[in-house]
Amino acid sequence: MIAELGGIRNLRINVAKPDTGPTRHAFSTNGSLELPAYQLGQQVATRKAYGDALVALGKARGDVVVLDGEVSNSTFAEEFRDELPDRYFEMYIAEQQMIATAVGLQVLGWRPLASTFAAFFSRAYDFIRMAAISRVDLRLAGSHAGVSIGEDGPSQMALEDIASIRAVHGSTVLHPCDANQTAKLVARMADTDGIVCLRTIRDGGDVAIVAAGVTVPEALKAAVALAEDGIEARVIDLYSIKLLDEETLRSLRCPIVTVEDHWPEGGLGEAVLAALGDADERPTVVRVAVREMPHSGKPEELLREAGIDADGIVRAARQVVQARVSAP
């Protein structure tokens, strides 16, 4: 169609829309979701649990497809590739195209899950942002986040990913701390636009430690050390950083220490502050985060240098509790 506007000829091209009718190929499934389960004390990386859960999800559902940016041996998406190769898409080092393809697959009725190193999603940020504007459901899994990845160095450490994805309209940011939690959240991701949940795993009334991911076990260690000093710490596993259970956060009457393997800007600590921002009364919030550019090293060394290990959490908690006791 050609239209005249103010003497200027404008060419409008009618582009055929994708056929979103009920023509999608149906893969055979077992129809029963049997998520992997891990024993107490068993050390399993959350990315390994992601791969295990993908396989279980794919076998139970014929609409699940998986994409990866040529790091499937690290994200463990290769487990899905090996078990269900007809529904796996290797996108190579082309994160923008991976997101674009995931959008297209979702429009056609599939449930795509796309994975790469969390830091590399920054290359496709505009595609993620535009997908949100188009009201597309994206399911993304970013591995190797924070200084805790160790010797790969700062170029591979996602320290901005929480902030960037939190800023996307309608997004949900999940940060599980163990394998069982990861598997269950992967299953929920397939059908849920957002999860609102905050889970407490240790009680105490002197200070609340809010952590996520790798900092949760460090927070639990800190709680044990603080108890030896007579300080009872409540540990909150904030595995859903967006959306938050604001009611639970607002119910806290003790000082709060947030700890995250992320820059302080835009991460877990600021999410907690935002939840408390318009409260009539709120407790003191101390944010423990990565504040100096990290380097290559052992994970435990880098956690300690960043001050986000158990010792760093203990120091912050002691200071905030002492300040509360000393206040007139």
In the block, residue with structure tokens 């297209």: 104
Closest CA relative to residue 272, chosen from 173, 194, 145: 173
The SS3 of residue 114 is strand
User: Among candidates 98, 89, 161, which has minimal Cα distance to 131?
Assistant: 98
Query: Could you tell me the sign of the dihedral formed by the alpha carbons of 96, 164, 106, 111, in that order?
Result: positive
CB 207 within 8 A of CB 317: yes
Is 95 a known active-site residue? yes
Distance, CA of 109 to CA of 99 (rounded, Å): 15
Pairing of strands 88-90, 64-68: parallel
For the residues of 209-244, what is the DSSP string, one character each? EEE-TTHHHHHHHHHHHHHHTT--EEEEE--EEES-
- The label of the residue with tokens 């969390």 reads 118
Task: Lay out the sheet containing 140-143: strands in order across.
Answer: 88-90, 64-68, 111-117, 140-143
Inter-residue contact 2 to 12 (CB < 8 Å): yes
For residue 273, give the amino acid letter. L
221, β-bridge pairs: none
Q: Is 56 left (phi over 0), alpha (psi -120 to 50) or beta?
A: alpha
Instruction: Give alpha helix (H) positions in the chain.
Output: 46-60, 72-75, 78-83, 95-107, 125-133, 161-166, 179-189, 215-228, 246-250, 268-276, 299-306, 310-326
Q: Catalytic one among 78, 95, 160, 270?
A: 95
Catalytically annotated residues: 95
